[in-house]
Structure 1
Amino acid sequence: MSPLDPTLFGEIDPPQRLLMGPGPVNAHPRVLRAMSADLLGQFDPEMTGFMNQVMALYRPIFGTQNQWTMLIDGTARAAIEASLVSLVEPGDTVLVVNFGRFGLLLTEILSRLGARVEQVSAPWGEVVPLEVIARAIEMHGPSVVATVHGDTSTTMAQPLEGLGALCKAAGAFAYVDATATLGGMEIAGDRWGVDVVTGGLQKCLGGPSGSAPITISDRAAQRIFSRRHVEQGIRRDDIADGKGPRIPSNYFDLAMIMDYWSDKRLNHHTEATSMLYAARECARVALGEGLEARFARHRKAGAAMTAGLRAMGLTVFGDDAHRMTNVTGVYIPEGVDGEAIRTMMRDHFEIEIGTAFGPLQGRIWRLGAMGYNAMRHKVLLTLGALEACLKTQGFSLPLGEAVPAAIAAWEAA
């Protein structure tokens, strides 16, 4: 086999696309600069100092005082799986609040873990009322209740006020996947009384995918540590009963990861240094802007996007009362080739908008405005480009109405 010519592939030079889909989005320039900083050894005092800073920075973003607020090395799904594999034993009953694709993902992961999964569901485009969740908890007696906060597949945000109290009264733990909303909508971990919340950088936090913030209550931490069958560092042949740790994953064992992030600094893996720098800078950007101001900016962007789409004569998907602020679904007009429009948006304007999943595949587009892209001019550029592409495809629409409607909505929100 002849050696590969190193000149065959050029230097990475991706197009400068404006990512206005449901995520990922364009990373903030400060985050990209932080990622270029020099690497450090995983036990260097400077490095462990940065780890402690990350823990402190993410507590207000999660709305918590939890000691165990840290990062999981991997995409947002890594934190989801780490949470569930560390909380749930085979045979445990888990109630999943399902209102979209990512509720189905929780169900799939839990099924692989051998849990007995019960679902309380809403049609796509709606959310599950708290009283319905309460009845399901009473009926099934789960040990864990798992839900998504904002499901980008349906663009809906599940109300979570009161969920923690319901779970505690039933002796259950509450898990929340806030991947799509962390840093863009309020996450009130302590006020909601939930036990574990996980996120990702690649959406409202304006970073790259690959690091997953997580916060764990003391109550959940006790549960996780109780499942640690042996102390970390004991050799396999030293375990008298021949059984490994009761948490069946090594990489996703939160008890071991928490030991790594504690003052013990017990080795678990080599921390993804550049991603930690990215997560740190994402949090600094968010807190520097101010969380309330940041949430308001996302509300303005979502309101502007929705108003602009409606001004084109398009029909927005889902329940307005529970819409995520950062992702908007809109029906593809009859007779319009949705994929042809997406291709034209990308090829002519360097703008990416999203397609859909499951029962919504081929029926809606999903347009995001989050993180570094939740800016008025980026929303206006997206709406103007979509209008032009629809016109080119022969769709009749009121030209010139979308951008003024979006400007007015931004100012009013």
Structure 2
Amino acid sequence: MTTLDTRAPATATPSPAIDPPRRLLMGPGPIDADPRVLRAMSASLVGQYDPVMTQYMAQTQELYRTVFRTTNDATLLVDGTSRAGIEAAIVSLVSPGDRVLVPVFGRFGHLLREIAERAGAEVHVIEREWGTVFPTSELVAALDEVRPHLLALVHGDTSTTVAQPLEEIGAVCRERGVLLYADVTASLGGNTFAMDGWGVDAATAGLQKCLAGPSGSSPVSLSDRAVEVVRRRSSVEAGLRVLTDDDPDAVDRIRSNYLDLGQILEYWGPRRLNHHTEATSMLYAAHECARLLAEEGMDAAVARHALHGSAMVAGLSGLGLRLFGDQAHRMNNVVGVEIPDGIDGEAARAALLRDFAIEIGTSFGPLHGRIWRVGVMGYNARRDTVLTTLAALEHVLRTAGVPVTAGAGVGAALERYADAA
């Protein structure tokens, strides 16, 4: 008989403790988490049915109603990154064969398309050049042509740095009996978003951008219309029974267990039906992210992002960089600039990281190698981070041979701050 040798190799050495270098993350996300959020994450764990835990869960729900600007009872967290929230919303709202309309104006519209296709939907796509947005009239025309069950839209797409206007489309969807889903991962907290006021039926976000936290928890809110669809399709309403392939309800059931929002609603609801073990430390983080925003005030948070975002725009323009995208619809929290001719964009990013410990973003798809994306969001939406980034970028540009007037970027940003004072 052969015996397995389970001893570690004699040459094995223990891995060192995690000790990441200090960085200033000024890309499109993730960003540096607020220290208060990190402190909250280090709090002691409690059991998932401890009265203290259920109290924190209820508080978190109420805080995110403030952040989403909604009265929806169905406001909660999905444990996982922002993509988990996106997938939970789409797979829970879409039955196989349902028509879904996805307007694509950047990378993350393609993500919505893929998830809807995997859910078995009949997906219809309309596209816009990256850096532009859809006029409402174009969306209305597509709704009338496709007659979808769901319109799935990205609000702010960091790949293009522009935000799709949503103010009018919710009412249009309601008139036509269409559900409206919005991915607000990149925009929530730094750009105006009014879930109830705009008639949005489902919205999902993440912590790692304007909410000033780490990736790993996805706030979600659902309207009563959306909840009705989710509950009809969830196995909870079928008494948690096992469905066989020949069961008439099997075709329409939610094609995920973990991301079944019907079950997650019951976990967060008064019945507290067991579904998963809550990611306690991430709940602490999400709670603190929302608490800080509510304390600041949503209007004030949006104004802060608008101020520091505009200062970054002024500074980048002062450095002679050309802005990318429709500036009338630019997100407050991320700026796209064209990489100057004759320099290696990745080498410049590497120099910025190596010499100044500052990270800015690269780009995707048709914009790869063409633009940089500079974020001003969450905890990093501050005057000092803007000025430090501009000063460092000036040095990198000058070293790469780009003619830049000394102090032009910082000076232009300071003028913007002076104008706003």
TM-score range, shorter chain: over 0.9
Contact 1:236/1:242, CA 8 A, preserved across alignment: no
Partner of 2:203: 197
Partner of 1:37: 43
1:96-245 correspondence runs (5 A): 96-229=102-235, 231=237, 234=240, 236=242, 241=247
How big is the shift at 1:263? 0.2
User: Identity of counterpart residues, as a percentage?
Assistant: 56
Which residue type is aligned with residue 373 of structure 1? N
Matched, 1:316 2:323: yes
Contact 2:235/2:241, CA 8 A, preserved across alignment: no
How big is the shift at 1:366? 0.3
SS of equivalent to 2:209: coil
- Picking from 59, 62, 65, the partner of 1:56 is 62
Contact 1:232/1:256, CA 8 A, preserved across alignment: no
- Picking from 344, 362, 384, the partner of 2:391 is 384
How big is the shift at 1:402? 0.5
Which residue type is aligned with residue 151 of structure 1? D
Partner of 1:399: 406
Contact 1:120/1:128, CA 8 A, preserved across alignment: no
How big is the shift at 1:267? 0.4
Which residue type is aligned with residue 200 of structure 2? V
Query: Hey, what's the Cα distance between the residues in 2 that align with 1:351 and 1:79?
Result: 29
Matched, 1:3 2:21: no
1:5-24 correspondence runs (5 A): 8-24=14-30
**Matched length:** 413
How big is the shift at 1:407? 1.3
Query: Hey, what's the Cα distance between the residues in 1 that align with 2:48 and 2:14?
Result: 35
Query: Hey, what's the Cα distance between the residues in 2 that align with 1:340 and 1:238?
Result: 56
- Picking from 336, 339, 348, the partner of 1:341 is 348
Contact 1:55/1:70, CA 8 A, preserved across alignment: yes
Query: Hey, what's the Cα distance between the residues in 2 that align with 1:57 and 1:69?
Result: 9
- RMSD between aligned alpha carbons? 1.8
Which residue type is aligned with residue 110 of structure 1? A
Partner of 1:74: 80
- Picking from 254, 272, 290, the partner of 2:297 is 290
Which residue type is aligned with residue 258 of structure 2? Y
Matched, 1:276 2:283: yes
Partner of 1:25: 31
How big is the shift at 1:228? 2.2
Listed one character per residue, the Cα deviations across residues 149-197 of structure 1 (whole Å, up to 9, x for unaligned) are: 1000000011100111111111110000000011111210000001001
Query: Hey, what's the Cα distance between the residues in 2 that align with 1:311 and 1:10?
Result: 44
How big is the shift at 1:233? 6.4
Gapped regions of structure 1 (runs ≥ 5): none
Which residue type is aligned with residue 307 of structure 1? A
Distance 1:312 1:243, change over 3 A: same
What TM-score, normalized by structure 1, do the two folds share? 0.97
Contact 2:234/2:261, CA 8 A, preserved across alignment: no
Contact 2:235/2:263, CA 8 A, preserved across alignment: no
SS of equivalent to 1:191: coil
Query: Hey, what's the Cα distance between the residues in 2 that align with 1:313 and 1:101?
Result: 27
Distance 1:146 1:291, change over 3 A: same
Query: Hey, what's the Cα distance between the residues in 2 that align with 1:42 and 1:230?
Result: 20
SS of equivalent to 1:278: helix
Query: Hey, what's the Cα distance between the residues in 2 that align with 1:46 and 1:6?
Result: 43
Gapped regions of structure 2 (runs ≥ 5): 1-5
Query: Hey, what's the Cα distance between the residues in 2 that align with 1:169 and 1:91?
Result: 22
Q: Which shifted more, 21-30 or 115-124?
A: 115-124
How big is the shift at 1:25? 0.2
- Picking from 246, 252, 264, the partner of 2:253 is 246
Q: Which shifted more, 222-231 or 49-58?
A: 222-231
Which residue type is aligned with residue 236 of structure 1? V
Partner of 2:3: none
Distance 1:240 1:402, change over 3 A: closer
How big is the shift at 1:232? 6.9
Distance 1:297 1:9, change over 3 A: same
Partner of 1:260: 267
Query: Hey, what's the Cα distance between the residues in 2 that align with 1:59 and 1:327?
Result: 25
How big is the shift at 1:90? 1.1
SS of equivalent to 1:9: coil
Distance 1:313 1:3, change over 3 A: same
Which residue type is aligned with residue 408 of structure 1? E
Query: Hey, what's the Cα distance between the residues in 1 that align with 2:276 and 2:29?
Result: 28
Q: Which shifted more, 201-210 or 107-116?
A: 107-116
Distance 1:46 1:359, change over 3 A: same
Distance 1:343 1:238, change over 3 A: closer
Q: Which shifted more, 64-73 or 289-298?
A: 289-298
Which residue type is aligned with residue 267 of structure 2? Y
